[in-house]
Amino acid sequence: MNHIYNETKKGAPVFVLLHGTGGTEHDLLPLAGMLNPEYNVLSIRGNVSENGMNRYFKRHGEGQYDLEDLEFRGGELHDFIIEAAEEHDFDLEDVVLVGFSNGANIAINLMLRESAQFKKAALFAPLYPMTLEDEKDLSNAEVFLSMGKGDPIVPEPESLKVIGIFEERGADVTTTWVNGHSLPQEAAEKAKEWLNR
C-alpha cells in the first residue's frame, strides 16, 4: 500500500494516519505534527478508487457500505500495519489511529477486529451504520471522537451510535462537537489536549 513512514524518535508512539475520501497519505501529516511532533508517523493511502478518489473500502452510496469489501479491506489494512510494525520495529499497542471521515470509518473496523491490539484512536467525523454483533472488550481502549452538528453526511443519531459502539464495549470515550463534516482547528486542539493529558 502507498504510504509514508517518518520516524522522529525511536520507540515513540506511532500515529497511523487515515485520510478522508479523495485524500492522500499527505493530508493528515500537519495534524500529526500538531498533535505531538515527537510521535512517529505511518500514513497510508486508501487503495480503493471511487471515481478517481482514494478510499479505504467500497460503498454502494453515501452511508451504504459494501460490507464484504469493508471486511476484506479492513483485514488487508490490519495486515499491512502489522507488517509495517515488524519492518520499522514498533509495538502495535503504541499505535494511535488517527482518521478523518472514511479514514475514521475504517479505523472503527480496525478497533473492532478481534485480533487487533489497537488501544487508542482519534476519529474525526466517523460513521458506522451497521448492526454489530461482536462482543469485543475495549475496556483498555481510549477513543477521542469529533462529531459534527448539522453534518450533511453523518446525521446526529449516527454520531451518537458511534459513541455507543465504543461506550458499550467499555472504552474510555472523549467527545467534542464541531460544525458540519469537518476537521477544524478547534477539534484538533481538543484532540491534542486529550492525547497529551
pTM, full prediction: 0.96
pLDDT tens digits, 107-147: 999 999 998 999 999 999 999 988 888 889 999 999 999 99
When divided into structural domains, the chain yields a total of 1
User: At residue 42, does pLDDT exceed 90?
Assistant: yes
Residue 89 is among the residues annotated as catalytic for this protein: no
Residue 19 is among the residues annotated as catalytic for this protein: no
Q: Domain with 100 in it: what CATH number?
A: 3.40.50.1820
Find where cell 478523518 sits. Answer: 100
Dihedral angle sign, alpha carbons of residues 15, 19, 24, 28: negative
- From 101, 115, 137, 159, active-site residue: 101
Question: Running DSSP on this structure, what letter comes out for residue 92?
Answer: G
Give residue 134's pLDDT: 83
User: At residue 63, does pLDDT exceed 80?
Assistant: no
Give residue 65's pLDDT: 87
Contact 131, 163 (CB under 8 A): no
- From 19, 43, 78, 181, active-site residue: 181
Domain that includes residue 19, residue range: 3-195
Question: Running DSSP on this structure, what letter comes out for residue 19?
Answer: P
- What is the chain's mean pLDDT, rounded? 95
- From 43, 78, 151, 159, active-site residue: 151
Residue 137 is among the residues annotated as catalytic for this protein: no
Rounded Cα gap, residues 36 and 13, in angstroms: 10
User: Cβ–Cβ contacts within 10 Å for residue 189, how many?
Assistant: 13
> What is the mean predicted confidence (pLDDT) over 21-30?
97
